[in-house]
Structure 1
C-alpha cells in the first residue's frame, strides 16, 4: 500500500478514507478504540506473548526459530502449547474439587496473512507426534497383511465347517493422533480407537468449517463443543454401529487469514459458546524474506525429546481411561482463585454478553494451562508431575491474560472490517464516486467514466454487502 518513498499511494488513500468513513458511519462518529494501525483503522494493539512462562531451553528455542526460520515468537509459542496438550491427552487431569476435573483440551487458531509463518511452526512442533503416527501406521500395514491372509484362511475353513464365527480373526486397529480433514463420525471412530486423544490439525481452518456443512452444521458444532467440555461424544448412524467416547480429548489447531475471521466468528457459532472456546494468536507481524543462511533445525531436538516423554505417560488400564489426577498446592490454588475473582469482577462490569462468555472460558483455560505448564516443566526436568505448583499457575495466568486480550483483539478486527477492504482499485473508485442513493442509469454513467463496462457494473450492483435495491432501478449504498 506504500510507494518506494514510504508514502501512501492514491488507492490506499481512497481506501483509507472509505474505511474511516464506514467506521464513523457505524459508530455515529464515536471513537470506541484502543490504537491505530497503518491505515488509520482503530484497533486494539496485539498483546505481547509472555515468553518467560517457558523453561529457559524453550525460550532459547523459540527465539532461535524466530531468528533463523522466521517462525515468529508468538506462532511458535502457541504451537508449543498446542503440541504439548496433544501429547498429554488423557494421561493427566487436574482436580479443582472432587466433582470437577479438567483435562488439557484446547482449540488454537493462528491468525495471519500469507507468508507470516503461522503454519510452519505448528507443523514442526508436532513432528514427534507425526513420527510416532507414521511408525504405528507401518506396523499396522504389516498387521493388515497378516490379518488378510488369516481372514482368507478362515473363510475357506468356514466353508468346510472347520471353524465357527468365534474363530474369526480380529481386524487390527490403527491408533493415530493427528487428523486433518475428517467428518465428526470419522473423528469419533478414530478417537474410539485411541482413547488417549486426537489432534485435529487443520492447516487452513476454513476447511474445518466446511466439514460442518457436510452434515447438519448444528450437530457437528454441538459434537465439538460437547467434546471440549469433556462430555461423552456419541455418534449414531443408520448404516453403521454407534460410537461412544466417554472421555473425549480432542485438540483443534490450525491457521486462518484475517479476512476469513467473520466466517469463523459468525453469530451462529457463538450461540452455544463455540467461538468462546477458541484461543487466538494474532501477532502484529509481516512476511519476511527467506533466510539466506543454512537452516538449522537442531534447536528442536530438545522439544522432540520433551514430547516423547509426555507421549510416554500412561493413560489407560485395559480399555478404560485412567488418567493421573494432579492437585494444586495450597498457594497455587489460592493464586488461581484470587485471579479468577478479579476477572469475574471485570466480566460483571461488561455490557457485552459475548465478551462475558469469553471471560468464563478463559477462566477454565487457566486451569488447563496450569496443567500443561506443569507437565512441560516436568518434560524438561524442572518440576515433578505429582502436583501443580505456584510457578505453573503463575505462568498459566499470564497465558490466560494473553489469550483474553487476543480474543478481544479479534473482536475489534471483525468490527472494523469492511467489504471495501478487498475491492480492486477500479471498483473502489466507482463505489466512492457513486452518491449514497442513485438510479441505475445515472450510476452507469459514473461507472463508464471510471472505465467500468456495463456488464461489470450490473454484476457489481448485485453485491448485497455493498448495495441495496430499494425498488426497480433505484439503489442505495450500504457503506
Structure 2
C-alpha cells in the first residue's frame, strides 16, 4: 500500500493536531518545510531542532547584509542566539549539521582558497597577506572572535559543541567575565578590543549568531547562577513538546529533498556574500502598526512579572529580527526585490515570538522543578528535608547533597546560591524555608 501523500499545509496541520511540535514551520519557504518534514519522518530528527537550526542557518547566511530600521533610534541586524534544549542523547547536533550543510561546504571551499593563497604568498614581494575568511567558529576566544569578525564583516556564527562549555568559557583564567562584551555584541553596538597581548580589533556593526545544544538539567544549573544581566533572556530556547528519543525509521531519507534544500541554501548564501554593501530597510505602515500593537500587548504582563518583562523586552527586538529574516528570505526565493518589511512577514515574526516566549517560560519551569520546587522532586527541597532542622550549616548541606544526590561540593554551593528555599544568615549558616512542611 502506497504511503498517503499530504500537502505541506495538511502535513503541518497534522503535526499540530498530534502535538508533535509547536514550531510554526509554515512560516518558512516550502523547500525548507519539505526538508524538515522529510528529516522528521525518515531520519527520526526532532522537528523543533531541525526547524530552529534551519532558521539559524538563514540568519547566518544573511549576516550583516541587511538590517531593519524601526525608526531613527532603533535598528536591528538578523543575529539569533538559538539554544536547543533536550535530554542527553536526544540528537540535538545532527539537525544542526544538516541545516548548516551549505554553510559548512562554503567554509571548506574558503579554507582551500586560503591554503592556496598562502602557498603562493611571498612576504618579500610586498603583497598583503591573505585574509582567512570565516563564516563560523566553534570555540573562539573573545579576542579571536573580534579578529575574525574584523576580517569577515559579513558576520560570524559561533557553533559550540556544547553550549555549557561556551558559557563557562566566558569566564577567563583570571576570573574576568566576557558576558558584558557579548551583551554588546548582541545589541549590535560598536565594540573594540585593545588588550596588549592581542591584536587590536574594532567592529562597527557586529553580527554574531550563536547556535548550540544543552541538556535540560544543565540549563537549569546555568540559570541558577544567572547574574540578572539579561544574558539568558537573549537566548531563544528550542524546547520540544516531547523530550524523548525517536525510533529509527525503516524508510530511507529522500536524498533529492535534502539536496534541494542544500542547493537552495547554497544559492542564498552565495547571493548574500556577493553583496558588497549592507542595506537598511524599514517597516511598511501595516507592519509597523502590527508591531506596535504586539509590543503594547506586552505591557500588562510585563508590569505584573519582572521575569516576563525581561523576556518580552528582548523578544520585542527579536520580532524585528525575525521579520527581517523572513522578508529577505521570502523575497530571494520568490525573485522579488527587498523593499521593506511586509505585514505578512511581521505576522509570521509574531508567530515565532510566541513560540520562543512559551519556551522561555518552559525553561523557567524546568529550573523550578529541577531545583527549587517545594515538592519531593525538588533536589534542594529533598536535601533540606533530610537535614531536618530550621537552621543548618553549609557543611551539613554539602554532606546531605552528596549522600542523597551524589552532588559534589561546588555543585552544592550552586544549589545553595539559588536562594528561594534557603536564606543565608552569614558565616556559612543558612535557614531552611521548608522545615516543618
Q: Which residue pairs with 1:390 in the alignment?
A: 343
The aligned residue for residue 76 of structure 1 is 50
- 2-side partners of 1:120 and 1:362: how far apart? 27
**CA contact 1:316–1:323 (8 Å) conserved in 2:** no
Match of 2:186 in 1: 228
The answer to whether the 8 Å contact 2:38/2:254 transfers is no
Aligned position for 1:163: none
1:362 aligns with 2:320: no
Match of 1:188 in 2: 146
1:113/1:406 Cα in 2 relative to 1: closer, same or farther (>3 Å)? Answer: same
Conserved? CA contact 2:220–2:366, under 8 Å: no
Distance 1:460 1:323 in 2: 51
Query: 3-state DSSP class of the match of 2:60?
Result: helix
Kindly indicate whether residue 152 of structure 2 is the aligned counterpart of residue 178 of structure 1.
Answer: no
Higher deviation after alignment, 60-69 or 128-137: 60-69
Q: Deviations over 1:80-104 (max 9, x none)?
A: 1111000000011112123422110
| 1:417 corresponds to | 370
Q: Structure 2: 5+ residue runs without aligned partners?
A: 1-18, 393-398, 417-421
Deviation of 1:107 after TM superposition, in Å, equals: 0.2
Q: 1:265 to 1:469 in 2, by over 3 A?
A: closer
Secondary structure at 2:116 match in 1? helix
Pair 1:403–1:145, CA change in 2 (3 A): same
1:339 is aligned to: 294
Give the drift of 1:389: 1.2
1:326-366 residue CA offsets vs partner (Å, 9 max, x unmatched): 22222122211211111223323x232x3211111101000
Quote the Cα distance in structure 1 between the aligned partners of 2:118 and 2:339. 40
Whose radius of gyration is greater, 1 or 2?
1
Within 5 Å, give how 1:197-216 maps onto structure 2: 197-215=155-173
Distance change >3 Å, CA 422–CA 190, structure 1 → 2 = farther
For 2:13, the equivalent position in structure 1 comes to: none
Q: Where do 1:10-409 residues align within 5 Å?
A: 48-147=22-121, 150-151=122-123, 154=124, 168-215=126-173, 219-271=177-229, 273-285=230-242, 286-313=244-271, 322-348=277-303, 350-352=304-306, 354-381=307-334, 383-409=336-362
Q: CA deviation at 1:374?
A: 1.1
- Offset at 1:315? 6.5
How many aligned positions are there? 393
Match of 1:158 in 2: none
Q: Provide, for residues 138-160 of structure 1, a one-character-per-residue CA deviation record: whole Å limited to 9, x for no partner.
A: 1111111112xx23xx2xxxxxx
Calculate the TM-score normalised by the size of structure 2. 0.80
Task: Please state how far the C-alpha of 1:268 moved relative to its aligned partner.
Answer: 3.8
CA distance in 2, matches of 1:300, 1:66: 12
- Name the SS for the 1:241 alignment partner: coil
RMSD: 3.5
Is residue 75–residue 118 contact of structure 1 (8 Å, CA) maintained in 2?
A: yes
Q: CA deviation at 1:435?
A: 6.4
Per-residue displacement from partner, 1:41-86 (whole Å, max 9, x unpaired)? Answer: xxxx998222221233322221111111121221111111111000
Partner of 1:436: 388
CA offsets 1:264-298 (integer angstroms, 9 cap, x no match): 32444432x11111101111221013223333343
Deviation at 1:381, TM superposition (A): 1.7
Alignment-derived partner of residue 13 in structure 1 = none
Q: Match for residue 12 of structure 2?
A: none
Secondary structure at 1:110 match in 2 = strand
The alpha-carbon deviation at position 468 of structure 1 amounts to 11
> Matches of 2:351 and 2:369 in 1, distance apart?
27
For residue 200 of structure 2, give the secondary structure of its aligned residue in structure 1: strand
Sort the Cα spacing of 1:240 and 1:203 in 2 relative to 1 into closer, same or farther, 3 A. Answer: closer
Q: Is the 8 A contact 1:143 1:172 kept in 2?
A: yes
* Shift of residue 240, structure 1, vs aligned partner: 3.1
> Cα 1:382–1:408, aligned 2, differ >3 Å: closer, same or farther?
farther
CA 1:216–1:252 in 2, change beyond 3 Å: closer, same or farther?
farther
How far residue 303 of structure 1 moved from its aligned partner, in angstroms, is 2.6
Hey, what's the Cα distance between the residues in 2 that align with 1:218 and 1:415?
29
